[in-house]
Amino acid sequence: MGDKSAPLLSAEDVWARMRAAAVVVAQCEQVALSDAPMRVLAEDLHATVTVPGFDNSAMDGYAFRAEEARERREMPISLRVAAGDSPGVLTSGTACRIFTGAPIPDGADTVVIQERCERRGDILVLPEKWTPYANIRRAGEDIREGDVVLRAGQRLTPQAVGLAASCGFAEIPVRRRLRVAIVSTGDELRAAGSGPLHKGQIYDSNRPMLEALLRRLGCEVHALGALGDDLAATRQALRAAAGAADAIVTTGGVSVGEEDHVKTALEAEGTLALWRVAIKPGKPLAFGRVGEAYFLGLPGNPVSAFVTYLLFVQPFLKALMGEAQTGLQAFPVRAGFARATPDSRREFVRARLTVQDDGAVWAHAHARQGSGVLSSTVWADGLVDIAAGRVVAEGDSVPFLPFGGLGC
Ligand code: AMP
Ligand code: MG
C-alpha cells in the first residue's frame, strides 16, 4: 500500500508543514456562556471584578479577632453571619457564629472550625490551641480586577466556562465554528442500518467515528456519506464540499492503486501534497487545498484513520480554530511489552494502563495491533509512542499519549 514515489517523512516534518499552512479562521462572534463550551476564546478576557469580592469564611465555625482572644478561652457570641448576609461590625471582645462562604465581619480576622469549639448557651469556648488568621479565604484569592481571566486561544472547557461565569461574564467572544466535511471512499462501504452486507462489503466505521471526533472538537460536521471508487464522483464531491466547508476530511483511496481516486481527483480540483508518514499505523496522508478549503486525506484502515486523525488532523483543526494548545501531551509510563527488533517507522501502540502496588504505571499492549482491529482502540487508554529505531524492553520508560488528553 502507499505511493512509493511519495516522500517518506517523519511525523514531526509532516506536522511542521501542516502547521505552517494553517491560517486561523478570522471571524469571531459573541456567544452566550451557555453556548460557549468547547469553543475557542477569541480575545483575552479581563476581569472587571475581584473574586471573591470579600474576605469570607472557608468553614462553618466561629469568627473573632485573634488579638482579643489570646488571653481568654471564652467569648460571648454577639452575631450570626451566613452565606449571602451583609454583616455589620463585630462588637469588640465578642465572637460571631459564621458559615462557609459568609463574609467576615469587620472586627474579626480568624475563624476556628465548629468541631473544635464548645458552646455553652451564647458563650463560645475556644480550644486550647487555634491558629490566628486561619480559615479565611481572602478577597481576590482567585481573580483580581484587571487580571486576564482567560487568554485568547483558550479552549472553553467546562472549568473555563465556570471561571468566566465567576467573573460575571454572560457573553464571551469566540472564534466561529469550523465547518468540516467528511467523506468516506470505497465501493465496499455500506452505512450501518442500510441492510445486511453482501460478501465483500463492510460497514462504514470511519464516517461515524470521525463525525464523533469532530463533534467533540466543536466542529460543525457535514457528513457527505460514502463515495464509490469513482473519479468523476470523487471530483464532484470535492467541489461540492469545498464550497461549504473550511476543511474536507476523507478516508480511504489515498494510495495509488487503480481503485484509489482521491489523489487524482485532488490534483484535478486543487493542490495536493501526498506523503508517506513514517508511522505505524498510518502511512499515506494527503494534504492540500480545494478552493478555499483545506483537504486532509486519511488512510482507509480504521485504526490508521483514527491515529492519523489524532496526530495530525486534530492539531491542525485546533490551529485553524486559533487554539493555543494544539499539541499532544505525553507522560512516561513503563512498557508492559517488548519490541526486540527496531522498526524504521515510529510506532503508536494501542495500550491499556494499570497502576501497580508500588505506584508505577504500566502500559500493556493490545495483542492485535493490526490497522483494521478497531476494537483495540476501544480497549486501549491511549497510545505508547515508540521512536523509530528504538528497541523496547519490558519495564522501559516510554511516552504515553492518553486518549483522554486527546479528547476521546
Ligand atoms: P483504502 O485506504 O481505501 O485502500 O482502504 C484500506 C482498508 O480500509 C480497506 O480494507 C478498506 O475496506 C478499509 N476501509 C476504507 N474505508 C473504510 C471505512 N470508511 N470504514 C471501514 N473500513 C474502511
Ligand atoms: Mg479504498
Residue 306 confidence class, pLDDT cut points 50, 70, 90:
very high
Domain ranges of the chain: 11-27+177-320, 37-50+144-175, 56-137, 331-406
**Is any ligand 1 atom within 6 A of the Cβ of residue 153?**
no
The Cα–Cα gap between 245 and 180 comes to: 5
Strands (E), 257-308: 271-277, 279-280, 284-290, 293-298
- Ligand closest to Cα of 192 equals 1
**How much is the CA Rg of the chain, to the nearest whole Å?**
29
Ligand 2 centroid vs 252 CA: distance in angstroms?
5
Of all atoms in ligand 1, which is nearest to the CA of residue 254? 2
Residue 3 confidence class, pLDDT cut points 50, 70, 90:
low
**Is any ligand 1 atom within 6 A of the Cβ of residue 302?**
yes
- Ligand closest to Cα of 255 equals 1
Residue 1 confidence class, pLDDT cut points 50, 70, 90:
very low
Residues 6+ apart with CB under 8 A from 280: 343, 345, 346, 347, 348
Grid coordinates in use for 6?
A: 511519495
Grid coordinates in use for 319?
A: 490551529
pTM: 0.92
Parallel, antiparallel, or unpaired: how do β-strands 284-290 and 220-227 relate? Answer: unpaired
Q: Which of 1, 199, 202 to mutate to test the pocket of ligand 1 (most atoms within 8 A of CB)?
A: 202
The Cα–Cα gap between 282 and 10 comes to: 12
**Is any ligand 1 atom within 6 A of the Cβ of residue 281?**
no
- Over residues 177-216, the pLDDT tens digits come to 999 999 999 999 999 999 999 999 999 999 999 999 999 9
- How much is the mean pLDDT over the chain? 95
| CATH 3.40.50.300, applies to 37-50+144-175 | no
- Over residues 314-333, the pLDDT tens digits come to 999 999 999 998 887 899 99
**Is any ligand 1 atom within 6 A of the Cβ of residue 184?**
yes
Residue 73 has pLDDT above 50, yes or no: yes
CATH number, domain 11-27+177-320, options 3.40.50.720, 3.30.2350.10, 1.10.150.120, 3.40.980.10: 3.40.980.10
User: Going by CA atoms, what residue is nearest to atom 16 of ligand 1?
Assistant: 300
**Nearest alpha carbon to residue 226 among 288, 182, 179:** 182
Q: Which CATH class is domain 331-406?
A: mainly beta
Task: Domain 56-137: give its CATH code.
Answer: 2.170.190.11
Average pLDDT of span 284-312: 96
